[in-house]
Amino acid sequence: MNINTLAVIGAGLIGGSLIRALRDTNALGRVVVYARTPEKMGAAVKLGWVDQVETTLAATVVDADVIVIATPPALVAGFVAEVLEHCKSGAVITDVGSIKGEIVQELIRTLGNVPEHFVPGHPIAGTEKSGIDAALSRLYVGRTVIVTPLPNTEAQALATVTMMWQSAGAEVVTMDVAQHDAVLAATSHLPHVLAYALVNQLSQMSTVEDVFRFAAGGFRDFSRIASSDPIMWRDICLGNHEAITQMLSEYITSLQSLQKKIASQDAQGLLDFFQHAKKSRDAHFE
């Protein structure tokens, strides 16, 4: 697979790591990134990761064969619409947003349809760090990228995006948009909101100092994810509110039932509940 010119909009950890991974394949020509503050790209240019930094979208995408929109999900649809005005015909557009339904809905609302050359994508990878200077050439090795093509998505565009991520070392999996958002709500969004809620509750206890001081592995692991970026999680909750609300509702019902078992000292019910969870968990993870 060859990409003569790759354009990246919002080149931070995710976009930068993709650039670095593709650089290592020697199947990549020029890399142009869009940056409102070009100084931030200084090190990336010096290190040879990025060839060209542009401050206008038109100049960024005019020659690009593949355009990766690596911004937060809320900005993706707007950039897709703007990119379409300036890119070559046949250029492939993709994104890395962690929510897909919101992007698709906004494209339909603003453009009337989802462009055939736009392939929604989501690499399941990241680190605690951000910014292009934290980019890692092996971030995607062995990780999964979910792509959610629509019925009108061009097969060639899908193939290009798939091969791009495979070249970066990832396994590419296809899912429909709603399934993606439900799976992410379950595996990522729900755990995060539960962790935030737990930390908030414990921080209100009168013994808060003891609570944090004696936090053993359980709470420490649990709470680490409550250290993520609040703005990002606000946007994820807004963007995927239907799936998250639904799962939170089921979770509350499950906790109410568990609470009854504890309050009534239902030994057998508690054992069944814990055994079922352990069995499911151990069947899937080592």
Q: Which of residues 83-112 bind a second copy (CB under 8 A)?
A: none
Nearer to a second copy (CB atom), residue 117 or residue 180: 180
Task: Tell me the per-residue interface mask from 177 to 206 with a second copy, x by CB under 8 A, - otherwise.
Answer: --x--xxx-xxx-xxxxxxxxxxxxxx-x-
Closer of 24 and 272 to a second copy (Cβ):
272
Q: How many angstroms separate the Cα of 275 from the Cα of each of 3, 79, 280?
A: 51, 48, 9
Q: Is 262 in the site for a second copy (CB under 8 A)?
A: yes
Interface with a second copy, residue 141, by CB under 8 A? no
- Which of the stretches 88-96, 130-138, 157-165, 235-243 binds a second copy when contact is defined by CB under 8 A? 235-243
Residue 160: CB minimum distance to a second copy, A:
23
Binding residue count for a second copy, defined by CB under 8 A? 86
The span of 19-27, 46-54, 86-94, 213-221 binding a second copy (CB under 8 A) equals 213-221
Q: Which of residues 119-138 bind a second copy (CB under 8 A)?
A: 124
How big is the chain, counted in residues? Answer: 286
Q: Please tell me the distance from the alpha carbon of residue 152 to that of residue 283, in angstroms, as a whole number.
A: 38
Least distance between a second copy and beta carbon 109 (Å): 16
Residue 26, classified by CB atoms within 10 Å of its CB into exposed (0-12), middle (13-18) or buried (19+), is exposed
Nearest to 17 by CA among 126, 159, 164: 126
Out of 144, 154, 163, 166, which residue is the one contacting a second copy (CB under 8 A)?
144
User: Is residue 238 a contact point for a second copy (CB under 8 A)?
Assistant: yes
Nearer Cβ to a second copy (23/261): 261
**Residue 159 makes contact with a second copy by CB under 8 A:** no
Residue whose C-alpha is closest to residue 155's, from 123, 117, 121: 117
116 backbone dihedrals φ, ψ, rounded to 5°: -70, -25
174 sits near a second copy (criterion: CB under 8 A): no
115 or 239, CB closer to a second copy? 239
* Residue 103 near residue 120 (C-beta atoms within 8 A): yes
Task: Give me the phi and psi of 81, to 5 degrees please.
Answer: -60, -40
Kindly state the DSSP code that residue 41 receives in the 8-state scheme.
Answer: G
Q: Is residue 58 at the binding interface for a second copy, with CB under 8 A as the rule? A: no
3-state secondary structure at position 31: strand
Rounded Cα gap, residues 162 and 30, in angstroms: 20
In angstroms, how far is CA 41 from the centroid of its own chain? 22
Residue number with CB closer to a second copy (1 or 211)? 211
